[in-house]
Chains A and B, each alone.
Chain A
């Protein structure tokens, strides 16, 4: 009996020699990695297809959206906007002012000061003439930090409530806000974010069109780095310069424009960013609000909503709206970025671990059978395989170099290595470029060709160094989670949005999953 040729290497006998075994092993591993990357990128290509369908639909609808009618209609549901704030003194007044000037018929703003140690409360009090009011807080959503006082604004057009409480984290602050909210829809936004003027009208639209089924909607979060801000509005969308920030911009575009739109179109959106998400208050109360002990609390909440409503066999929808944008600053330096990525990956691991019973469970429909397994295979495992693939490639190159030098330790065939490069780098870059093109087609935010060129360059450059670096941080995040290390936030100063153009030097606190 002969064993067939394996990737061009003849078998020397019944059993291969150790060198042959290593060579074959390297080739087999290479093919496995290539196959993995083909599958991951092809799955993303399918998402691109779904996202493009959604975006085309969105572009067609924009002209007929009827926001003026929605604004004037007495049937447009009122909204409670919740802004958790921790040490946000430099930008909180600007953020609240910007939030107060949104185009929406009826809404209130609830700022939850989560035990800030800076002047967050004082600057708010000075600006909006706050007065302490007795408020009975709905106890239905569990919270951790004790509420010290509730204050109402005597100045301003939109009702503003400021809550002072013990530090308990972002999830705890949001839960406190949900308990205080007076309206049926609750919008969660970051205090260091700026919303587009019509953002609430856009993100409420699915609730208005399908009030019985829509339970949550999310909008796009985009980096404001490089953009010009005036009076709390992003007025000139530009690409930041440098290398770290432009890559994050295209990363966000890929994640939101393609990822979220695609999953939403597929009907199993798993993540709504805590930086900009709208929920039905009664559903939040029903599921117990955000988990106080989970790192990726925003994504965990959506997974829990899916779980609960699927278990109750309810007909519901979680929808992503690609148009409204929440602008935020993304990390400027590698240290903050590394913390952010470790945290995000820990969050994914925690969520998938906590809800592992849903994975491949037909009871949970598309969420259990497709989306969650996809997240396990292509989000959780991806950084490990990416780094292993990189290690394998380097080993192959090393062996080739040795062969050129006359030391033929292990014979290698570089065909699969080239394939790996094409699939893992070329295919991935192409997908990111498609995201940029899709965004440009649907929204045309960039006014300058140089910005588009810069975005295209960033889409390609991302694969060379940045992705491997983030893969390494994500692996570290998983290891930290397995070792049970405590999540460290560290001190992160902010610049706020009052500057003419978002500065390119300050470090900004990482937020929830993008």
Chain B
């Protein structure tokens, strides 16, 4: 309730509760801090996460709700040596639509020492949809990158719907990893006519399993195109009357 009042005065009291010995109290306090939406809640939340007094998930859920000014604090967290914290910050920045963090996220995507941080950076970039991130994502789509990163990059490109990614995604459909190839094919399917043409080409070549991935993505695309939204029974009945 205190959080829902959105009064800044309540933040210090709630922040103090993050130090409570009872986990449930800490979790509820974190939720309330998130609901308060104030920038002042960001630091205590991150500190509680660092001290392992809050789970990553509880912290992230609260941080997502804070006012836009909190992005600055999250960018600092993204630079943290605590890889868990940096990965969480990447996730939250992506969910908050913090476009200003895209350059740093792209840097982490290609250069960070932690695979976890790189994967989370890829996901965040996918959510942000910044065209400038496409070259970075394509770079980590190469077979030299670890499979989880390649799969995350393909998924991010899928979410971004960037036509510039088509050549890279075409190569990725031939990836040896099922997950990467499958995701890349689905990403192409979301890219309109050019993506569809690319998939038709891959299917036409017939080289397995890429051709099957392409066929599946095309079929899925057709299924969704022809699928009509379900009409609630009550409405349908009213319509028929």
Residues in B whose Cβ lies below 8 Å from that of A136? 178, 182, 209, 212-213, 216
Q: Are B61 and A209 in contact (CB under 8 A)?
A: no
Q: Are B31 and A138 in contact (CB under 8 A)?
A: no
Which of A61-69, A229-237, A342-350 participates in binding chain B? A61-69
Which of A10-18, A42-50, A149-157 participates in binding chain B? A149-157
A75 within 8 A of B: yes
Q: Are B178 and A133 in contact (CB under 8 A)?
A: no
The secondary-structure label for the interface of chain B is helix
Q: Are B61 and A75 in contact (CB under 8 A)?
A: yes
In the bound complex, CA of A136 to CA of B218 (Å): 12
- Partner among B182, B215, B230 whose Cβ is within 8 Å of the Cβ of A157: B230
Q: Given A75-B57, A209-B55, A210-B55, decide whether A156 and B212 contact each other with a Cβ distance below 8 A.
A: no
A426 within 8 A of B: no
Q: Are B220 and A133 in contact (CB under 8 A)?
A: yes
Q: Are B95 and A74 in contact (CB under 8 A)?
A: yes
Q: Given A75-B57, A140-B178, A211-B56, decide whether A135 and B91 contact each other with a Cβ distance below 8 A.
A: no
Q: Are A209 and B57 in contact (CB under 8 A)?
A: yes
In the bound complex, CA of A209 to CA of B57 (Å): 6
- Partner among B84, B182, B219 whose Cβ is within 8 Å of the Cβ of A133: B219
A241 within 8 A of B: no
* Nearest residue, chain B, Cβ from A208: B57
Q: Chain A, 113-137, contact with B by CB distance < 8 Å: what is the 0/1 string?
A: 0000000000000000001011110
Minimum C-beta distance from B119 to chain A (A): 12
Residues in B whose Cβ lies below 8 Å from that of A138? 178-179, 182
Residues in A whose Cβ lies below 8 Å from that of B57? 75, 208-209, 211
Q: Are B223 and A152 in contact (CB under 8 A)?
A: yes
Q: Given A64-B24, A74-B95, A75-B60, decide whether A131 and B182 contact each other with a Cβ distance below 8 A.
A: no
Q: A interface, how many residues as a size bin? A: 20 to 34
Q: Are B24 and A61 in contact (CB under 8 A)?
A: yes
Q: Are B230 and A155 in contact (CB under 8 A)?
A: yes
Residues in B whose Cβ lies below 8 Å from that of A134? 212, 215-216, 219
Minimum C-beta distance from B64 to chain A (A): 8
Residues in B whose Cβ lies below 8 Å from that of A75? 57, 60-61, 64, 91, 95
A73 within 8 A of B: yes
* Nearest residue, chain A, Cβ from B58: A209
* Nearest residue, chain A, Cβ from B148: A282
In the bound complex, CA of A136 to CA of B178 (Å): 9
Minimum C-beta distance from B146 to chain A (A): 13
Residues in A whose Cβ lies below 8 Å from that of B60? 75
Q: Are B27 and A64 in contact (CB under 8 A)?
A: yes
Minimum C-beta distance from A97 to chain B (A): 13
B115 within 8 A of A: no
B139 within 8 A of A: no
* Nearest residue, chain A, Cβ from B213: A136
Q: Chain B, 124-156, contact with A by CB distance < 8 Å: what is the 0/1 string?
A: 000000000000000000000000000000000
**Which positions 170-218 of chain B face chain A at CB distance < 8 Å?**
178-179, 182, 209, 212-213, 215-216
Total residues of chain B contacting the partner, CB 8 A: 28
B113 within 8 A of A: no
Residues in A whose Cβ lies below 8 Å from that of B220? 133, 152
Q: Are B27 and A66 in contact (CB under 8 A)?
A: yes
Residues in A whose Cβ lies below 8 Å from that of B27? 64, 66
Q: Are A135 and B216 in contact (CB under 8 A)?
A: yes
Residues in A whose Cβ lies below 8 Å from that of B56? 211
B163 within 8 A of A: no
The secondary-structure label for the interface of chain A is loop
Q: Are A133 and B223 in contact (CB under 8 A)?
A: yes
Minimum C-beta distance from B5 to chain A (A): 18
Residues in A whose Cβ lies below 8 Å from that of B227? 154
Q: Chain A, 189-214, contact with B by CB distance < 8 Å: what is the 0/1 string?
A: 00000000000000000001111100
In the bound complex, CA of A136 to CA of B58 (Å): 36
B28 within 8 A of A: yes
Minimum C-beta distance from A157 to chain B (A): 6
* Nearest residue, chain A, Cβ from B91: A75
A60 within 8 A of B: yes
- Partner among A69, A131, A157 whose Cβ is within 8 Å of the Cβ of B31: A69
Q: Chain B, 14-46, contact with A by CB distance < 8 Å: what is the 0/1 string?
A: 000000000010011001000000000000000
A357 within 8 A of B: no
A139 within 8 A of B: yes
In the bound complex, CA of A140 to CA of B179 (Å): 11
In the bound complex, CA of A152 to CA of B222 (Å): 12
Q: Are B223 and A131 in contact (CB under 8 A)?
A: yes
* Nearest residue, chain B, Cβ from A135: B216
Minimum C-beta distance from B183 to chain A (A): 10
- Partner among A60, A73, A139, A156 whose Cβ is within 8 Å of the Cβ of B24: A60
Residues in A whose Cβ lies below 8 Å from that of B31? 66, 69
In the bound complex, CA of A210 to CA of B57 (Å): 8
In the bound complex, CA of A208 to CA of B24 (Å): 15
In the bound complex, CA of A157 to CA of B84 (Å): 35
Minimum C-beta distance from A151 to chain B (A): 11
Q: Given A133-B216, A208-B57, A210-B55, decide whether A64 and B28 contact each other with a Cβ distance below 8 A.
A: yes
In the bound complex, CA of A181 to CA of B164 (Å): 29
Residues in B whose Cβ lies below 8 Å from that of A64? 24, 27-28
* Nearest residue, chain A, Cβ from B208: A136
Q: Are A156 and B178 in contact (CB under 8 A)?
A: no
In the bound complex, CA of A433 to CA of B58 (Å): 38
* Nearest residue, chain A, Cβ from B220: A133
In the bound complex, CA of A64 to CA of B25 (Å): 8
14 extra A-B contacts, CB within 8 A, seeds A66-B27, A136-B182, A211-B57:
A60-B24, A69-B61, A74-B64, A75-B91, A133-B216, A133-B220, A133-B223, A134-B212, A136-B209, A152-B223, A157-B230, A208-B55, A209-B55, A212-B84
5 residue pairs, one from A and one from B, having the closest CB atoms:
A136-B212, A64-B24, A134-B215, A138-B178, A133-B219
> Can you offer 24 A-B residue contacts whose CB atoms are under 8 A?
A69-B31, A69-B61, A73-B61, A75-B60, A133-B219, A133-B220, A134-B215, A134-B216, A136-B178, A136-B212, A136-B213, A136-B216, A138-B179, A139-B178, A140-B178, A152-B223, A154-B223, A156-B230, A157-B230, A208-B55, A209-B57, A210-B55, A211-B57, A212-B84
Chain B positions near chain A (C-beta within 8 angstroms): 24, 27-28, 31, 55-58, 60-61, 64, 84, 91, 95, 178-179, 182, 209, 212-213, 215-216, 219-220, 223, 226-227, 230
